[in-house]
Structure 1
Amino acid sequence: MDDDGHPVPPRWHAPQPADAILRTARAVLRAVATLTGETDLAGAARDLTSAESALRGAEHLVLQRLGHGEGTAAAQLAAALPQVGTTLTAIRDLRLEARAATLTGVQHALGRLRSVTSLRDLTTQIPVEINRLGYRRALLSRVSGPQWSARAAFAHDDPQLARDLVEVGSSLPGQIGRELPETEVVRKRLPVLVEDAQHTPRVHHRLINLARTKDYVVAPLVGRGEVVGLLHADQHAERPSVDDFDQRLLGLFAEGVGCVFERVVFLEQLGALRSRLQEQTRSVGDLIDGFLGSDVLAAPVAPADPLSRLEGPLAELTRRELDVLRLLVRGRTNTEIAAELFVSPGTVKTHVKHVLRKLGVANRAEATSRYHALIRR
């Protein structure tokens, strides 16, 4: 990490065994050139890939000359042939070893990504991890509908290029159906190798020209059953170009990133749900605190009984007779009054007689009229 907490990518240096093998290859090629009279074969060995190609040419040349030579020259050529073969085998072994180490690097890269807990950090870290796998430049794009637009990039020793790639790739998004490599990746959900990108039609030429890309690999980032992003990589740190191995490698890495993406999305959704629940809990708590702090739960004040404040005939009625009068005024029958007061109909009949007598009325209708007249006073 740097002082700002950002991951610092490794600086790429060819391992010492590769340097030693390259020196051996050049020495063998110079020896073959001397024996065959050819011009400097070693000059074509700029790196391991070109050295391998030059050694194969030298091997073919030696076999050709052996078919026509004899004597000391033939013996010298025959002695050079095993040296060519041994050096070719060393290059192949080193390449296999490097590829095996790269596959292990994919596991380590995915392990680091699994510790990320936010989509924002994951977006930033993915191009860095692609660089750690051995690619000098990487681009992560978001697929939304028919468009794919850049979200994060990494360019070894050229942070300005990384920023420019994101700016161009977001302001001028690619179109599914317009750029054929990305269209094929989205539709088939498989990685694609693009060779000679500068002369390939229907690619994103603004990005290609900006980065001066010769060839690149693009792989799908699949989440929840849909292609949600694209991973681009080019300029391998130890080879002049990317090939079908890089195509398979980036595809494998993209599959793992898809699983990490789903996990991070789940964690963010879970965190958002937890926040909403906590907010709701706080809101309910505030509501209860306010409710308990108010006078809402104070004992209700019973409304004044108008009959309890009256004098005259109503004041002569007993508590039970007042209850019977209230129900009688509401139109209840003796049976209904008995059920409501939990007494017998006979008891109610007796109470009604006492009420009529004390109010000085002859029947229930007069009792009702007398009641209303008395409480309006």
Structure 2
Amino acid sequence: MSVARISELNARVSELAVQAAGGGANGAYLQLLDVTLERMNRRLAAADSGTVDAGDLCELLTDVSAVHSTLRKHALDQPSYAPGRIFEALARLRAKTTADEVLDAAPAELCAAGAFDRAMISRVRGSSWVPRLLFLSDGHDSGFNRELSDYITELEIPLASPMVEAEIVRRRLPALVYDAQQEPRAFRVLMKVSRTREYVVAPIVADGTVVGLLHADAFLSERPLTEADRDSLRTFADGVGLIYERAVLESRLARQRELVSEAFLGAEQLLDVPADPSVRLPGPAIRTAVEVPASEVVALPAFEGTVRSPSEGLAQLTAREREVLALLASGATNAQVADRLTVAESTVKSHVKHILHKMGAPNRAGAIARYLRARNNERRI
């Protein structure tokens, strides 16, 4: 390999080193690479002029080895983060059934996906943030970590400016804090107790509101945190927010369905009560009966439909109409039924019209009540 080619490769290594080193904790690596590469360039220039001897070549080899060692150390210190791991962790969180389960599992999944040693999730309540759970990759083996885990459960920290977390909640952006022990905007008491050197933190946003915070560091490995750690945490926190929001909505929907079901069952029970002539409803005081002339009697309009028993009306429905009626009984709207059955909303309205006619019901509430009575009768048989 010619000296010119070696010089070209040396220049490319230098460019890559500058791009990879970035700033902050990688500054020391960048300085060491600059010094080593500069020495290599001087020796390459001497070799190109033909004035290099065996001793210079040995020194050149030593410099090359130093560059190799430095780059290798830099590579080992980088987090083993990959987008695939983040998405796999979020997929596991989606399997959780409640919002609380999502929050409780998030710190452990974050450590597994982002190569962090510690992760803490907190709830944002008004003008405070309250640590909820601390996950430690050492399994709480040390007494220090056990005490730290107990300590954070008693904290309620004000979101006062210029605290880092207050800015994160306000701007909804993640942050990387390098020197946590000396950072005046960090919560100094927690930093001292946890012995945190540097950390990353990101907001958890659900339904347009910051509902929590995710903190993480590399306490055990002592590797320097980088902007890549901050970005991976942001990706993970964004996913947690969406999964949390979905879990909350599903819980509300399930509760609404329970309330609707209870209301219809209550109406069904009222309809099932047999008439008792001995029971008299409270009313006004008895007055003297007055005969009303036939000419003054106003006839009420009769309901345009045939009154049928619930089972008889249900038997006349088609399979699709029964499916539509079952969805209506679960509390679904016309639009939701149309989306569930992959049909137009106008088609659903047509089905509802036919259902009311066949069941002899004045409106959909009456049809649903008769449907529930028929189902209840079927269960009793």
TM-score, length-scaled by structure 2: 0.58
- 1:228 CA drift (Å): 1.0
Distance change >3 Å, CA 267–CA 297, structure 1 → 2: farther
Q: Does 2:53 correspond to 1:71?
A: yes
CA contact (8 A) 1:168 1:207 kept: no
Matching of residues 234-253 of structure 1 within 5 Å = 234-235=217-218, 240-253=223-236
Distance change >3 Å, CA 237–CA 287, structure 1 → 2: farther
What residue is the counterpart of 2:98 in the other structure? 118
Q: What is the alpha-carbon distance in structure 2 between the residues aligned to residue 94 and residue 139 of structure 1?
A: 25
Distance change >3 Å, CA 89–CA 164, structure 1 → 2: closer
SS at match of 1:232: strand
What residue is the counterpart of 2:131 in the other structure? 150
Q: What is the alpha-carbon distance in structure 2 between the residues aligned to residue 136 and residue 277 of structure 1?
A: 47
CA contact (8 A) 1:193 1:244 kept: yes
Distance change >3 Å, CA 257–CA 296, structure 1 → 2: farther
> Which AA in structure 2 matches 1:185?
I
CA contact (8 A) 2:205 2:212 kept: yes
Matching of residues 10-159 of structure 1 within 5 Å = 56=33, 59-60=36-37, 62-63=39-40, 66=43, 70-88=52-70, 98-99=80-81, 102-133=82-113, 134-159=115-140
Cα-to-partner distance string for 1:197-248 (whole Å, 9 max, x where unaligned) = 1111132223212210001111011111111111100116655221221111
Q: Does 2:186 correspond to 1:203?
A: yes
| 5+ residue gaps, structure 1 | 1-48, 301-325, 342-377
CA contact (8 A) 2:203 2:213 kept: yes
| 5+ residue gaps, structure 2 | 1-25, 282-287, 298-381
Bigger Rg, structure 1 or 2: 1
Cα-to-partner distance string for 1:102-129 (whole Å, 9 max, x where unaligned) = 2211111111111111012111101111
Q: What is the alpha-carbon distance in structure 2 between the residues aligned to residue 206 and residue 216 of structure 1?
A: 15
TM-score, length-scaled by structure 1: 0.58
Distance change >3 Å, CA 71–CA 296, structure 1 → 2: farther
Q: Which has the higher contact order (CA 8 A, sep 6+)?
A: 2
Q: Which moved more, 1:168-177 or 1:192-201?
A: 168-177
Q: What is the alpha-carbon distance in structure 2 between the residues aligned to residue 156 and residue 234 of structure 1?
A: 11
What residue is the counterpart of 1:33 in the other structure? none
Matching of residues 1-377 of structure 1 within 5 Å = 56=33, 59-60=36-37, 62-63=39-40, 66=43, 70-88=52-70, 98-99=80-81, 102-133=82-113, 134-159=115-140, 164-165=147-148, 167-178=150-161, 180-235=163-218, 240-289=223-272, 291-292=273-274, 295=276, 337=293, 339=295
Distance change >3 Å, CA 285–CA 83, structure 1 → 2: same
CA contact (8 A) 2:107 2:119 kept: yes
Distance change >3 Å, CA 82–CA 95, structure 1 → 2: same
Q: What is the alpha-carbon distance in structure 2 between the residues aligned to residue 287 and residue 220 of structure 1?
A: 51
SS at match of 1:219: strand
Q: Which moved more, 1:242-251 or 1:225-234?
A: 242-251
Q: Which moved more, 1:175-184 or 1:65-74?
A: 65-74
Q: What is the alpha-carbon distance in structure 2 between the residues aligned to residue 59 and residue 296 of structure 1?
A: 105
% same residue: 29
